[in-house]
Structure 1
Amino acid sequence: MTTTEQQISRHWDYADATLKALRDRGLRPTPELYHVWFVYFAEENPEILRVIDAVQASGDHLPEDTLLQLYYRYIFDRQAADFLQRGMEDFSELVENSDECLNTARSGMKQYAELLGQSLKTLKKHKEVGPVLSEVLDQTDEMKQTIENLHKRLDSYLNRITLLQRELDETRERSYTDGLTRVSNRMYFEEQLSLLAAEYDSSEKPETFCVMMVDLDQFKAVNDRFGHRIGDEILVLVASMLKANIKGRDIVARYGGDEFAILLPQTPLSDAMNLAADMSKRIAAREIKAKSSGTSYGQMTISVGAAEYVANEGGAKLIDRADSALYRAKKDGRNRHFAAE
C-alpha cells in the first residue's frame, strides 16, 4: 500500500470513529461537532485530546456546548483567519489600485479644468463658443467633485481594512498560541520546523539547527496528588522559565500534555546541550508555589532530549530522534539531558 493509500485509509478510519462517537453520544451530526471528533481521533490537537480524555475519564457526559467551545477555540479561529486573510489581502490590493487610479484621474481632471478655464477666457468674445465651453466646464467641475467623493469613500474603506487586518493578526496569534501556557502551540511549532527544514535542504550553505523535546518529570503524580489546577500552574511556570532561556528566533511550544518542544535555529548540538543543562539546573532550583496561597509544592525537574537536523531527514524524523533521546533521559533516572545518536 502506498503512502497516499495509507493516508486515505486512516482518514476513513477517523471518519468511521467520528460518526460512531456522534451516534453513541446522541450528538447532532453538525459540521462543527464532526470536525472536533475527527481532530480528536486523528490526534491533531493536544488540547482537544486533553479535554475530551479528561471528561471521558471522569465518566461525565460531554455536552455539545463543550465540543463547540473546542471547535471555536482550536479549529475555527485558524481556518477563518486564513480564509479572511486571503480575502482581505485581495480586497486591500483592489482598493489601493483604485486609489492610485483615482489619484491619476484627479490630477488629469485638474489639468483639464485649468485648460478649459483658460480657453473660456479667450473664447468668451465668441458668442457661439462661449456658452458651450462654459457648460463643459461646469460638467468638469461636477466630475471633479464626484472623484473627490469617491476618494473619501476609499479612504474610509482603507481605514476599515486596517482595523480588520489588526483583528485578523490577533486571531492568527491566538490560533498559534497555547491557551494555557501562552507559549506557541504544536501547530505553529511544526509549521516553523517544516519551513526551517525546507530552507536547510534547499540551501547551498545551510545553517545548523536543533530541536529539543522537554518533559516534566513525574508530572502525573503531581496532578494526582495536588489536582489539575496546581498542575496547570506548574505548566505555566515551567513554560515561562523555558521561554526566558531562549533568544532571537528560538521557539518554545507546548507539544502536548506536559511535553514542550523547543526549536533552535542557528544552533549546533553542543550549544543545545549546554542550554538543556542550564534550563534543567534553573528549573530544578526553583521552588514551586501556589499563586493563591503561597503553598510550596517542592521542586520540579525536567528531562530533555536534543537532536541536530540531518539533511533531507524532514521535521518528523528529527522530532522522533529528539524524542528517543528524551526517552533515554527518563529511563536513565530523569532530570537528565541526552543528545540523539
Structure 2
Amino acid sequence: MSPLKSRHWDTVAATLDALREYDLAPVPELFHVWFVFFADDNPDIVRSIELARQQGTAIDEKQLLDLYYRYILHRHTTDFLRQGMESFADVIENSEQSIASVSSELGIYHKVLEEADAVLRRDGKPSDLLTAVSRHTRKVQKTVSTLAEQLDSYHQQIAHLQSELQKAQEQSLTDGLTRVSNRLHFEQILTDLCHAVDEGEDSEPFCLMMIDLDQFKQVNDRYGHRVGDEILVLIAGILKTNIKGRDTVSRYGGDEFAVLLPQTTLDEALFLAEDLGNRVRAREIRAKSSGTSFGSMTISIGIAEYQRYETSSSIVDRADSALYRAKQGGRDQYSIALPYEGEPETVAP
C-alpha cells in the first residue's frame, strides 16, 4: 500500500474511533468533520475540536453539525458547482476551437474538390465519385456548422449559469435587509484572516469590533418594526461608509453588527470606534415616509485584537464580552478586550 493510501486509511480509522468514543452515529456530516480534523484540512475545525478536548468538553452532535455547516457545506458546494461549470466551459471552448479548425479544413478540401471537378468537366471527363465526395463534404460542412452553433449556444448558457451562480453566492453572503455581509460571510472572512495570521501568510494584525445599537428594543416597541428596520439600514450605511479598503461590515444578528479590520492595530481600531460612535450619535433619524424625527441613536462597541493561534470563536467571544462590558458600563462607549483572560478596559468616547 502506498504511503498516501496508508495515511488515508489511518485517517478513516481515527475518524471511526472518534465516532465510537463520543457515541456518535456514523452519519456523513459527522464523519466528514472528524475526517477533516484528523486530515488536518481545516484550521478552525482542528482548533475548535482540540480546544474542546483540552478542556474536557463533551463533543456532541450539535457541536459537530455546527462546524460542518459553518466550515464545510457552503464552501464545498459552491466550489464544486463553480469548478464543474468552469471545467465544462473549458471543454466547450476546446471543442469550439477544434470544430472551427475542422470546419476550416473542410472548406479548403471542398474548394479543392470543386476545382478538380471543374477541371474534369472542362476536359470532358466528369467523375461520379468526385461529385459524390463533394456532395458528402458539403453535408459534413453543414453538420459541423450546426454543431458549432449548438456549442456556441451551450457556451452562452454556461456563461449565464456562472453569472447566476455568482449572483446567488453574493446573495447568500449578503444580509437581505441592510445589504451588508451576513453572518456566514463574516465567519468565512474571519476564518481566512485567522488562518493567514497563524500560517504567517499575513504578519499584519487585525481587529474585530462587535457593535450593538443601544436601547433598540425600546425603539421597536415604541415605533414598530418598520421604523426599526429603517434604523438598522441607516446604521449599517454609516458603518459601511466609514470603513476602508478590506474592512468588512456584517450584520451578526438582530441589532448587532460585526466589523472586521484587517491590517489594523488596536490603536487604529480604537480611533475608528470613537469616530463611528460620534457619527452615529450625530445623525438625526427620520422616518422615510413621514419625515418624523426619532432623535438619534447611540452604539456600544467591543473591540478585540486577534492573538495568534486563538480560534475564530475565541476572538468573537472576547469582543462580545467587551461589548457586554461597554453596555453594562452605561452604553454609548467602547470597551477593549485584553488578551486572553484579561479584563476589558472601558473607555468613554
2:199 to 193, 199, 202: 202
How many angstroms apart in 2 are the aligned matches of 1:331 and 1:94?
61
The alignment partner of 1:139 has SS state of helix
250-259 vs 95-104, greater mean Cα deviation:
95-104
> What does 1:19-58 correspond to in 2, within 5 Å?
none
Are 2:196 and 2:202, in contact at CA under 8 Å, matched by a contact in 1? no
Contact 2:285 2:294 in 1 (8 A): yes
1:52 aligned partner: none
CA distance in 2: counterparts of 1:4 and 1:307, whole angstroms: 38
- Alpha-carbon offset, residue 260 of structure 1: 0.1
1:93 equivalent to 2:96? Answer no
Matched, 1:106 2:99: no
Q: 1:115 to 1:269 in 2, by over 3 A?
A: farther
Is the 1:184–1:251 contact (alpha carbons within 8 Å) kept by the matching residues of 2?
Answer: yes
Distance in 1 separating the partners of 2:131 and 2:259:
74
Instruction: Output the amino acid matched with 1:275.
Output: L
Distance change >3 Å, CA 88–CA 319, structure 1 → 2: same
SS of structure 2 residue aligned to 1:289: coil
2:332 aligned with 1:335? yes
Using the alignment, how far apart are the partners of 2:276 and 2:320 within structure 1?
Answer: 17
What percent of counterpart residues are identical?
A: 49
1:303 aligns with 300
The residue that corresponds to 1:281 in the other structure is 278
Distance in 1 (alpha carbons) for counterparts of 2:281 and 2:237: 14
Q: Tell me the amino acid that sits aligned with residue 177 of structure 2.
A: L
CA contact (8 A) 1:180 1:232 kept: yes
RMSD: 3.5
Counterpart for residue 263 of structure 2: 266
1:149 aligned partner: 146
Measure how far apart 1:78 and its partner are: 10
* 1:312-323 → structure 2 map (5 Å cutoff): 312-323=309-320
Deviation at 1:253, TM superposition (A): 0.7
Taking the aligned partners of 2:212 and 2:296, their CA distance within structure 1 comes to 15
Select 2:323's aligned residue among 311, 321, 326: 326
User: Aligned to 1:223, which of 220, 225, 233?
Assistant: 220
Structure 1 unmatched runs, 5+: 12-37, 46-76
Map Cα deviations across residues 283-337 of structure 1 (whole Å, 9 max, x no partner). Answer: 0111222222222222211111122222222322221221122122222221111
Consecutive unaligned residues in structure 2, runs of 5 or more: 1-16, 28-61, 339-349
Normalising by structure 2, report the TM-score.
0.70
Moved more, 84-93 or 158-167: 84-93
Query: In the TM superposition, what whole-angstrom CA distance separates every residue of 1:134-156 from its partner, at most 9, and x where no partner exists?
Result: 32222112211211111112222
Shift, 1:182, TM fit: 1.4
CA distance in 1, matches of 2:23, 2:181: 27
1:334, 1:264 → 2: CA distance?
22
Q: Hey, what's the Cα distance between the residues in 2 that align with 1:211 and 1:140?
A: 69
Distance 2:100 2:21 in 1: 56
